[in-house]
């Protein structure tokens, strides 16, 4: 969904100073894995957001990042890439999800890439090819490794809407080999809509951990699939079944199904390759096209609704914490 009202509202809030830098807890529970070439490079004032530009695909690309307040140049940190929805930028995704707040990511480097023309490849409104955006992901990770101390075994990707769909595109490509796990929210899976598009999906390994959160009342990226703003969309149940098959999750049925909030929230988990919960899905019955949160956010306002039962930012970070790249 292309949310111009949503992005305009966030921009106004930022300009008026409504979003101060969140307080950060000192969390020493970081990885002890070997780090990258960027280890030992000093980065003073870690709580100050950083903005970087790199050359990729013959053009200048950009991203922002947020370091832990306890950042140590010689400690390898997990990294989470967060991909915004269409008609947006990384900063707006950061503000809406609150993922940089210490309660969610105190021991992680948070990274927010910017799509060309405010979108990611795969939709019919995208301005560049899938190959170029995948190359940008690889180039961005190379830049991070060179400048910061990164735990190579704990690199993750999440995203909302068009950004969530692009997370799936990464997972289906060779670029996905760099990542330990993926999570999409209200994902628009244009490059995995069935037929030849889905047959071309070639995950770098299996099982490949993947989580998705979706509102059953989503009127933009419908749970039942069909025509979306950027092309054909798969039914969420069929998309999940494809990932269960790709990950060799037994007979393809979820190993566990939990209902909560009077049946309004359904959590499904698949056991794949002997590992529990490698594929996980949360369905929120009366939620529309937004980032699920127990606190009001701008994507909820744009969708014409308020807080919901679950906190996607916590669910996603807890999911990531369970997996490291083998």
Look at phi and psi of residue 173 and say left if phi exceeds 0, alpha if psi is from -120 to 50, else beta.
Answer: beta
**Burial (CB count within 10 angstroms: exposed 0-12, middle 13-18, buried 19+), residue 103:** middle
Residue 176 · residue 137 · CB < 8 Å: no
- Report the C-alpha gap between 155 and 79 in whole angstroms: 5
Rounded to the nearest 10 degrees, what angle do helices 162-171 and 130-147 cross at? 80
Per the DSSP assignment, residues forming a β-bridge with 282 are 213, 267
pLDDT at residue 35, as a whole number = 84
Residue 313 · residue 293 · CB < 8 Å: yes
Give the angle subtended at the CA of 109 by the CAs of 50 and 128, to the nearest 5°.
70
Could you tell me where the beta strands, DSSP code E, fall in the chain? 50-56, 59-66, 77-83, 109-113, 150-160, 181-185, 210-215, 226-228, 231-233, 256-260, 265-272, 275-284
pLDDT tens per residue across all 326 residues of the chain? 454 444 444 444 443 333 333 333 333 334 446 689 999 999 998 889 999 999 999 999 999 999 998 899 999 999 999 999 999 999 999 999 999 999 999 999 999 999 999 999 999 999 999 999 999 999 999 999 999 999 999 999 999 999 999 999 999 999 999 999 999 999 999 999 999 999 999 999 999 999 999 999 999 999 999 999 999 999 999 999 999 999 999 999 999 999 999 999 999 999 999 999 999 999 999 999 999 999 999 999 999 999 999 999 999 999 999 999 99
Helix ranges (DSSP H) in 190-272: 195-199, 236-246
**CA 102 to chain centroid:** 17
Report the predicted TM-score, pTM, of the whole model to 2 decimal places: 0.91
pLDDT at residue 294, as a whole number = 98
> Residue 320 in 3-state DSSP?
helix
pLDDT at residue 2, as a whole number = 53
Cα separations (Å) of 96 from 36, 138, 158, 312, 313? 30, 25, 13, 11, 10
pLDDT at residue 47, as a whole number = 85
Dig out the tokens for 160 from the structure.
Answer: 């909302």
Residue 195 · residue 233 · CB < 8 Å: no
> Cα(first)–Cα(last) distance of the chain, in Å?
35
Buried b or exposed e, range 140-155, using 16+ CB within 10 angstroms: bbebbbebbbbbbebb
The phi and psi torsions of 134 (rounded to 5 degrees) equal -65, -35
């Amino acid at each position: 969904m292309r949310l111009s009202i949503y992005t305009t509202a966030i921009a106004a809030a930022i300009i008026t100073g409504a979003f101060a830098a969140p307080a950060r807890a000192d969390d020493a529970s970081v990885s002890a894995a070997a780090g990258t070439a960027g280890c030992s490079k000093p980065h003073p004032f870690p709580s100050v957001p950083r903005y970087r530009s790199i050359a990729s695909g013959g053009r200048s690309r950009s991203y922002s990042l947020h370091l832990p307040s306890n950042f140590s140049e010689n400690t390898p940190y997990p990294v989470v890439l967060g991909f915004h929805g269409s008609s947006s930028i990384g900063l707006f995704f950061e503000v809406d999800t609150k993922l940089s707040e210490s309660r969610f990511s105190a021991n992680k480097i948070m990274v927010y890439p910017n799509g060309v023309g405010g979108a990611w490849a795969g939709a019919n409104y995208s301005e560049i090819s899938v190959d170029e955006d995948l190359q940008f992901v690889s180039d961005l990770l190379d830049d991070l490794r060179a400048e910061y101390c990164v735990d190579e075994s704990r690199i993750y990707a999440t995203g909302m809407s068009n950004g969530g769909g692009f997370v799936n595109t990464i997972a289906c490509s060779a670029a996905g080999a760099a990542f330990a796990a993926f999570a999409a929210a209200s994902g628009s899976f244009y490059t995995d809509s069935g037929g030849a598009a889905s047959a071309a999906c070639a995950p770098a390994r299996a099982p490949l951990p993947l989580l998705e959160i979706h509102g059953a009342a989503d009127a933009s990226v419908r749970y039942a699939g069909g025509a979306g703003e950027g092309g054909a969309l798969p039914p969420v149940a069929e998309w999940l079944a494809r990932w269960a098959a790709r990950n060799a999750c037994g007979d393809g049925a979820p190993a566990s199904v939990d209902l909560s909030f009077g049946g309004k929230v359904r959590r499904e988990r698949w056991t794949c390759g002997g590992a529990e919960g490698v594929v996980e899905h949360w369905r929120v019955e009366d939620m529309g096209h937004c980032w699920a949160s127990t606190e009001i956010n701008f994507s909820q306002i744009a969708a014409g609704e308020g807080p919901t039962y679950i906190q996607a930012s916590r669910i996603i970070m807890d999911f990531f914490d369970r997996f490291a790249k083998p």
